[in-house]
Structure 1
Amino acid sequence: MGRTAAPVPPLSLEDGVRAPEWDEGLECWVVADPRLARQVLNHPGFASGTFERSFQLYMADATRTEYRELTEFLRLWFVQADAPEHTALRRPVQRMLSASYVRSLTARIEEITDECLTELAGTRPHDVMPAVAEGISGKVMAHVVGVDVPPPVLHEWSRTLSLFIGAMYRRDHARAAHRAMVEMTGALAGARALEGFPTDTPKDRARTDATWAMCLFGGLETTASLLGSTVLTALGDQELWAAVRADRPGVVENLVESVLVSRPPLRHLGRVVAHDQEIAGARLRAGDLVLVSLTGQGPLDEATPAAVCPVTGASAPEPAAAAAADHNLVFGYGPHYCVGAPLARLEAAVLLRRLARRFPHARLSDRAAVWGPNLSYVGLDHLYVDLGGEA
Structure 2
Amino acid sequence: MNGTPPLAWDEGLECWVVADPRLARQVLNHPGFTSGTFERSFQLYMTDAAREEYRELTEFLRLWFVQTDSPEHTALRRPVQRVMSASYVRSLTPHVEEITDACLDALAAAVPHDVVPAVADGISGTVMAHVVGVAEPPEVLHRWARTLSLFIGAMYRRDYAREAHHTMVEMTEALSRATAPKAFPQETPEDRARTTATWAMNLFGGLETTSSLLASTVLDVLGEPTVWDAVREQRPGAAEAFVERVLQRRPPLRHLGRVVAHDQELAGKRMKRGDLVLVSLTGEGLLADDGTPAGGSPVTDGTTPAAGCPVTGAGVGAGAAGGGSGEQHLVFGFGPHYCVGAPLARLEAAVLLRRFAARFPDARLAGEAAVWGPNLSYVGLDHLYVDLGV
Q: TM-score, normalised by structure 2?
A: 0.92
Contact (CA 8 Å) 2:319, 2:327: kept in 1 or not? no
The answer as to 2:88 corresponding to 1:101 is: yes
Matched with 2:107 is 120
Query: Which residue of 2 is the match for residue 6 of structure 1?
Result: none
Aligned residues: 373
Match of 1:377, SS? coil
Aligned structure 1 segments of 4 or more residues deviating by more than 6 angstroms:
none
Structure 2 residue identity aligned to 1:165: I
- Counting aligned pairs with the same residue, the percent is 72
Aligned counterpart, 2:176: 189
Q: Could you tell me how far 1:314 is from its partner in structure 2?
A: 3.7
AA aligned to 2:335 is G
Partner of 1:158: 145
Q: Which residue of 1 aligns with 2:355?
A: 354
1:1-391 mapped onto 2 (5 Å cutoff): 18-297=5-284, 298=287, 299-300=291-292, 301-303=297-299, 307-308=305-306, 310-314=309-313, 320-321=319-320, 324=325, 326-389=327-390
CA deviation string 1:2-41 (max 9, x = no partner): xxxxxxxxxxxxxx99542101110000000001001000
Distance 1:36 1:128, change over 3 A: same
Determine the C-alpha separation between the residues in 2 that align with 1:376 and 1:181.
Answer: 20
The structural deviation recorded for 1:162 is: 0.4
Q: 1:374 aligns to what SS in structure 2?
A: coil
C-alpha displacement of 1:311 = 4.0
Q: Secondary structure at the match of 1:367?
A: strand
Name the stretch that deviates more: 324-333 or 334-343. Answer: 324-333
Evaluate the alpha carbon distance shift between residue 228 and residue 65 of structure 1 in structure 2; reply closer, same or farther with a 3 A threshold: same
CA distance 1:285–1:247, shift in 2 (3 Å): same
Distance 1:324 1:221 in 2: 29
Deviations 1:99-123 (A, max 9, x none): 1100000000000001100000001
The residue number in structure 2 matching 1:9 is none
C-alpha distance in structure 1 between counterparts of 2:67 and 2:311, whole Å: 31
Equivalents in 2 of 1:305, 1:43: separation in Å? Answer: 33
Contact 2:244 2:314 in 1 (8 A): no
Secondary structure at the aligned position of 2:183 is classed as coil
Q: Distance in 1 between matches of 2:119 and 2:169?
A: 27
Q: Deviations over 1:26-64 (max 9, x none)?
A: 000000000100100000000000000000000000000
Deviations 1:357-391 (A, max 9, x none): 111111111111111122111111100001112xx
8 Å Cα contact 1:235-1:362 kept in structure 2: yes
> Please, which runs of 5 or more residues in structure 1 have no aligned partner?
1-15
Q: How far apart are residue 247 of structure 1 and its match? A: 1.5
State how far apart, in whole Å, the 2-side matches of 1:124 and 1:313 are.
33
Give the unaligned 5+ runs of structure 2.
Answer: none
Deviation digits for residues 71-92 of structure 1 (CA, Å, limit 9, x no counterpart): 0000000000000000000000
Contact kept? 2:89, 2:311, Cα under 8 Å: no
**Letter of the 2:65 counterpart:** F
Whole-Å separation in 2 of the counterparts to 1:328 and 1:73: 31
User: Structure 1 pair 49/305, CA: closer, same or farther in 2 (3 Å)?
Assistant: farther
Contact 2:34 2:69 in 1 (8 A): yes
CA contact (8 A) 1:17 1:36 kept: no
- How far the C-alpha of 1:332 sits from its partner, in A, is 0.1
Give the Cα separation in 2 of the matches to 1:148 and 1:312.
Answer: 26
Give the root-mean-square deviation of aligned CA atoms: 1.8
Whole-angstrom CA distance in 2 between matches of 1:280 and 1:338? 27
1:118-138 C-alpha deviation (Å, 9 max, x unpaired): 000001000000000000000
What is the Cα deviation at residue 279 of structure 1?
Answer: 1.2
Q: Partners of 2:5 and 2:114 in 1: how far apart?
A: 41
SS in 2 for 1:195: helix
Query: AA paired with 1:310?
Result: C
SS of the equivalent of 2:169 reads helix
Question: What is the rounded CA distance, in whole Å, between the counterparts of 2:326 and 2:216 in structure 1?
Answer: 19
For residue 176 of structure 2, give the secondary structure of its aligned residue in structure 1. Answer: coil
How far 1:315 moved relative to its partner? 5.2
Q: In 1, Cα distance between the equivalents of 2:312 and 2:210?
A: 20
Structure 2 CA distance for aligned equivalents of residues 313 and 59 of structure 1: 42
After superposition, give the CA deviation of every residue in 1:194-244 in whole Å (9 maximum; x if it has no partner): 122001111100000000000010000000000000000111122211111
